[in-house]
Every structure is written in structure tokens, then in C-alpha cells.
Amino acid sequence: MKIASFNINGIKARIQALTDWLAATDADLVVLQEIKSVDEGFPRSHFEDLGWQVETHGQKGFNGVAILSRMPLEDVTRGLPGDDADEQARYIEATVVGSRAVRIAGLYLPNGNPVPGPKYDYKLAWMERLRLRALDLLATEMPVVMLGDYNIIPEARDAARPEVWTDDALFLPQSRAAFRAIANQGWTDALRIRDPWGRRGPFTFWDYQAGAWDKDNGIRIDHLMLSPQAADLMVEAGVDRDARAGEKPSDHVPVWVRLAA
């Protein structure tokens, strides 16, 4: 079972880029972020005609997450528990059923800038809610993949130029500590475990400005976190870097993990 995450940066603007990538990938399930569409406006029939089951949690013009699956989905839930007043569409869960059931938690974590301010306070509060939900997911003892755009640069080697991110919400010590508080529950960073002590990157985001792509001035903020039961099933993980070089691309690229499930 191959599970992927892709911040598409607007489903309507990037529908062809997404369609082209889906045609080339062997992913069984894809979690999308920043669909920037209400549920009714999502081009559901387009993807259903291509053989995908579609589940969305949308919001007009901002945020929004979705799941596309070639395999059956069960028990779909929307919204991160812990704050009934939170109206931002950033979280979706489902169970995908292959040779065994795997719980999928797809997320689009708040950016948090500018710092200080209410947006950063919201980011940290959201991460605390995610930490608590992650504990509940671990308690199920199911294989769980918690993936998406975390808007966190975990380490200096996850940025081409870490010095320029020092005062950014994505790299502040509090942000990274909140990410570690989740990871240290027992989650495995699927991309990092491939090369725990080695090279810089791999990157998953390159800004549209200042020639970031051409200069490889990227950061790694899209993560695949595996519960112990999912980590035991991991076969391989990777980044589809070439998607950033396509026509009218997202500023993110897909990340994926393959499980023996």
C-alpha cells in the first residue's frame, strides 16, 4: 500500500498538475492539503471518473484537506478534536482497507506567521491538540500514518539556508519542540529514517519567489509520521521532486511511504 501527501496549493489552479501526477504514480491513497475549495466546489466527479474515492473537508478560498483513494475507505471523520469553535478546515481521518486496515490522519498545520501574534498562538494550540490526538491514535495499536504539510522545519539540515528561517514560525524553537513532543511519543519520521544522520534535505517545498527552485533553496515541511505498527510495515519512502519542475506546479511536491499492507 502506497500512501502519499501532496499540498496542491489550490485544486482549481492545479487540477491538471495533480491529474498528471496521479496518472504517473502508483499511490493507492493521496492526502491533499490547501485544496482552497468548499466541499461542493471540489471537482469530485473528475477524480471519481479516474477511479478515485473522494472525501473532502473544505473551506472557501483557504486551507482545506481531502483524501483520494483507490481502495475502500471507512470511518471518515473531519476536524481535529479539542476545539469546537475552530472553523478552519485542516484535518481529516479515515481507515483505508487493504490486506489490513490502516488509519490515515491527514493534516495541514497552521503556518503561524507573523510572530509573535494570534496566528502563532493558534499554531501552538493546534499542535497541542494534535499531540493529544496522536496519543489517542497510538492507543488504538493500529497502523497509523499521520501525514501532511506540518509547516515545521524539524532540523537545520531540513533547510538549504537555515539561517534565514531563524525568526520564522516554521523554525522557532517552540515550534520544533512542539513537533518533537509529538514525534517522541513513538512516531517514526519515514523520510528521515532512510538517512538518519546523513545529507541535507530532502526538501519538499520551494518558494515561487527569488528563483528558489532553480537554486535548490528548499525546506522540508511535509512529513510522514508512522505509528510503531505502521513503521514495522514500512518498505520504502520518497519524495517526488520532479513534480516541482512541471507546468504550473505547486510550491510543494508529493511525499510518500509504501507499507506492506
Count CA atoms within 13 Å of residue 109 on its CB side. Answer: 30
Q: Which entry of 28, 57, 91, 108 is annotated as an active-site residue?
A: 108
Q: Which entry of 28, 57, 91, 149 is annotated as an active-site residue?
A: 149
Handedness of CA 5, 9, 15, 21 (dihedral sign): negative
Cα–Cα distance measured from residue 170 to residue 172, given in angstroms and rounded to the nearest whole number: 6
27 and 104 in contact (C-beta within 8 Å)?
no
Cell of 218: 528548499
Which segments are annotated as binding site? Answer: 7, 34, 149, 151, 251-252
Cα–Cα distance measured from residue 228 to residue 144, given in angstroms and rounded to the nearest whole number: 8
Q: Which entry of 120, 150, 168, 252 is annotated as an active-site residue?
A: 252
Active site residue 252: yes
The string of DSSP letters for 206-240 reads: --SSTTTTTTT--B--EEEEE-HHHHTTEEEEEE-
Which segments are annotated as binding site for Mg(2+)? Answer: 7, 34, 149, 151, 251-252
Active site residues: 108, 149, 252
